[in-house]
Chain A
Amino acid sequence: MNLNSMQEIVSLARREGKKFWEVVLETDMENREVSRYESMEKMAQTWHAMLEASQVYTGERRSASGLVGGQGKLMYDYAAAGKCIGGEFMGQVIGEALAMGESNACMRRIVAAPTAGACGVMPAVLIPLYWRENIPEEKMVEAMYVASGIGAVIAYRACISGAAGGCQAEIGSASAMAAGALVYLKGGNKDVMCHAVAMALKNLLGLACDPVAGLVEVPCVKRNVIGAVNAIAAADMALAGIESRIPVDEVIDAMGEVGRRLPVELRETALGGLAATPTGRAVKKRLHGNRGKKKRTLTIKDARWKLEKPAEEASEAPVEGETVPAT
């Protein structure tokens, strides 16, 4: 089986009386030449790495640029105080998304899903539900296969990197994967799952990738929140019986097409969108101000170079046109 089309996976699963996740599992066994046990063991480790990343979060760290850190903690505290407009559960989802995005920016261990920048979406929907509903471990691992299969189809038909297709390809794909996993955990059938995936991706179509100073910090951390909240909304809509009028594979193709048409300034080059705002440019100048002036040789003691440069000293060097891709 090639994971090339949602429709094909669903039909094959139906024909053979299998679950969607089993088809994905068997494809992995075939592809990597591993046993069922080996594959499931690896997926369980991946799930545990997500859980652990969530549990070790304290909110105390700050990213290299100082732009990111502590937002998840603020949200958790606010939700715990019962103030969250969307209720405590939604507060936890938002907090989890921020905490993971932040952990990534602060060089903590995360699971890229499908990318490091979008690493908060999957755990943000899975972990609060796992705790609230006491879902068995095996079921969580199965949901991870569902999400992986969806991601593989998106990667095949469209793309999953900001450089190739903008943020719709990262946060959008993560949101679609999460929506599918949620439907599975809630007992929806395969058609319902396809509608949820389609709706989640549709809602984020066209989203630009515009990281300030080229770093996976602003807006990436907070974009994980919209990915997670959108996944929940799409899953709920699908479970309520609402259908996507455009079939899921066509939606994925459309995402790929929109991605190809996005100007290069909005595909991770940090030359457009939020990165090109006056504030975005000022941040870039502060961080990379002395770049390109002259090549310097550095030793251990001054290896923290650019970051400790005072802003005034750095600001005289105009930096234009340098592209700074980062995944």
Chain B
Amino acid sequence: MIDIFDIMGPIMVGPSSSHTAGAVRIGRMARTLLREEPVKADIHLHGSFAGTGVGHGTDKALVAGLLGMAPDNLDIPNSFEIARERGLDFTFDEVDLREVHPNSVLMDLTGDRGGRLSIRASSTGGGRIRVDELDGVEVSFTGDYNTLIIQNMDKQGNLSEVTTALSLAQVNVANMSLHRSSKGGNVMMIIETDDPVPDAIVQLIENRPGILQVIHYRKED
């Protein structure tokens, strides 16, 4: 079903919903997933993001998102200067990621507390985005739902513990998927929910043995 506010909207800083608004959302998603103030970002542009990215302000938009700006923030064109003031050091280059969406970017991020994240994401049109890879594990989620990203040691029973915790909190699961890195080892669980997951439940899940990390992305309007 078409959302009429995708027709009359979004309210955004131009010029392109895919190359500008979508890029801001990717940067913002990356910041949320890093869970720290980013201090270093190596940004690798692929395909059309590399080809027409500068003319569309894709570079500024990605940095703006990393700084926490939303797609309608009028400071997006000034994001490079603001990054400098806030101590975010960034580099850009062009890469060929082969069989990925033409509007893709790969970012290697470091946060102010030393956390690191490698994220590959694509802008799929009309300002919508998709996260395609996290720390080398192929995933797929869009941020259209509240999303739990759970990293765990491939341990039996973790999945049912998580779903039990969610049903206790009466949180409706919309989609769920399991992803394994090609090298084997840890597993990434992506759980999309209709309602946000209460912090206490996120904590509870994170404290279970075998669970390494839980990130909660809250859906934005």
Interface residues of A (CB under 8 A from B): 2-3, 24, 27-28, 31-32, 42-43, 45-46, 49, 63-65, 103-117, 119, 122, 144-145, 147-149, 151-152, 155-156, 160-161, 163, 177, 213-217, 287-288, 291, 295-300, 303-307, 322-327
Q: Are A109 and B12 in contact (CB under 8 A)?
A: yes
Q: Are B54 and A306 in contact (CB under 8 A)?
A: yes
Residue B95 CB within 8 A of the other chain: yes
Interface residues of B (CB under 8 A from A): 1-5, 7-21, 48, 50-52, 54-57, 59-60, 72, 74, 76-77, 80, 83-84, 89-95, 102-103, 125-127
A-B contact pairs, 16 of them (CB 8 A): A3-B4, A43-B8, A105-B14, A108-B14, A109-B11, A109-B12, A110-B12, A115-B126, A116-B20, A152-B4, A215-B52, A291-B50, A295-B94, A299-B91, A300-B91, A322-B51
Q: Are B8 and A111 in contact (CB under 8 A)?
A: yes
Q: Are B9 and A111 in contact (CB under 8 A)?
A: yes
The smallest C-beta distance from B133 to any residue of chain A, in angstroms, reads 20
Q: Are A107 and B16 in contact (CB under 8 A)?
A: no
Q: Are A300 and B80 in contact (CB under 8 A)?
A: yes
The smallest C-beta distance from B156 to any residue of chain A, in angstroms, reads 37
Contact of B15 among A63, A111, A177, A324 (CB under 8 A): A63
C-alpha spacing A160/B59, complex, angstroms: 26
Name the residue on B nearest A216 (C-beta). Answer: B15
Contacts of B19 in A (CB 8 A): 326-327
C-alpha spacing A86/B123, complex, angstroms: 42
Q: Are A107 and B20 in contact (CB under 8 A)?
A: yes
C-alpha spacing A156/B89, complex, angstroms: 44
Query: Beyond A113-B8, A303-B80, is A107–B14 a contact (Cβ under 8 Å)?
Result: yes
Q: Are B14 and A104 in contact (CB under 8 A)?
A: yes
Contacts of B20 in A (CB 8 A): 107, 116
Name the residue on B nearest A2 (C-beta). Answer: B1
Contacts of A64 in B (CB 8 A): 54-57
C-alpha spacing A214/B50, complex, angstroms: 12
Contacts of B18 in A (CB 8 A): 325-327
C-alpha spacing A107/B14, complex, angstroms: 4
Q: Are B59 and A303 in contact (CB under 8 A)?
A: yes
Contacts of B50 in A (CB 8 A): 291
Q: Are B2 and A105 in contact (CB under 8 A)?
A: no
Name the residue on B nearest A294 (C-beta). Answer: B94
C-alpha spacing A327/B92, complex, angstroms: 23
C-alpha spacing A68/B95, complex, angstroms: 29
Q: Are A32 and B48 in contact (CB under 8 A)?
A: no
Name the residue on A nearest B81 (C-beta). Answer: A300
Q: Are B102 and A106 in contact (CB under 8 A)?
A: no
Contacts of A298 in B (CB 8 A): 91-93
Query: Beyond A216-B16, A295-B95, A297-B93, is A325–B102 a contact (Cβ under 8 Å)?
Result: yes
C-alpha spacing A324/B48, complex, angstroms: 5
C-alpha spacing A306/B18, complex, angstroms: 20
C-alpha spacing A171/B59, complex, angstroms: 27
Query: Beyond A2-B1, A46-B5, is A297–B51 a contact (Cβ under 8 Å)?
Result: no
Q: Are B72 and A109 in contact (CB under 8 A)?
A: yes
C-alpha spacing A276/B67, complex, angstroms: 38
* Residue among B20, B52, B89 with most chain A CB within 10 A: B52
C-alpha spacing A140/B137, complex, angstroms: 48
Contacts of B9 in A (CB 8 A): 46, 111-113
Query: Beyond A214-B52, A324-B48, is A148–B8 a contact (Cβ under 8 Å)?
Result: yes
Q: Are B74 and A109 in contact (CB under 8 A)?
A: yes
The smallest C-beta distance from A51 to any residue of chain B, in angstroms, reads 12
C-alpha spacing A3/B103, complex, angstroms: 30
C-alpha spacing A47/B4, complex, angstroms: 14
* Residue among A105, A106, A299, A326 with most chain B CB within 10 A: A326
Q: Are A160 and B7 in contact (CB under 8 A)?
A: yes
C-alpha spacing A112/B8, complex, angstroms: 6
C-alpha spacing A160/B3, complex, angstroms: 13
Contacts of A104 in B (CB 8 A): 14-15
Q: Are A149 and B4 in contact (CB under 8 A)?
A: yes
C-alpha spacing A148/B59, complex, angstroms: 31
Contact of B93 among A103, A113, A295 (CB under 8 A): A295
Name the residue on B nearest A107 (C-beta). Answer: B77
Contact of B55 among A65, A114, A122 (CB under 8 A): A65
Name the residue on A nearest B78 (C-beta). Answer: A107
Contacts of B10 in A (CB 8 A): 111-112
Q: Are B11 and A155 in contact (CB under 8 A)?
A: no
Q: Are A151 and B15 in contact (CB under 8 A)?
A: no
C-alpha spacing A323/B52, complex, angstroms: 9
Q: Are B1 and A326 in contact (CB under 8 A)?
A: no
Contact of A148 among B4, B12, B55, B76 (CB under 8 A): B4
Contacts of A297 in B (CB 8 A): 91-93
* Residue among A112, A160, A305 with most chain B CB within 10 A: A112
C-alpha spacing A325/B89, complex, angstroms: 29
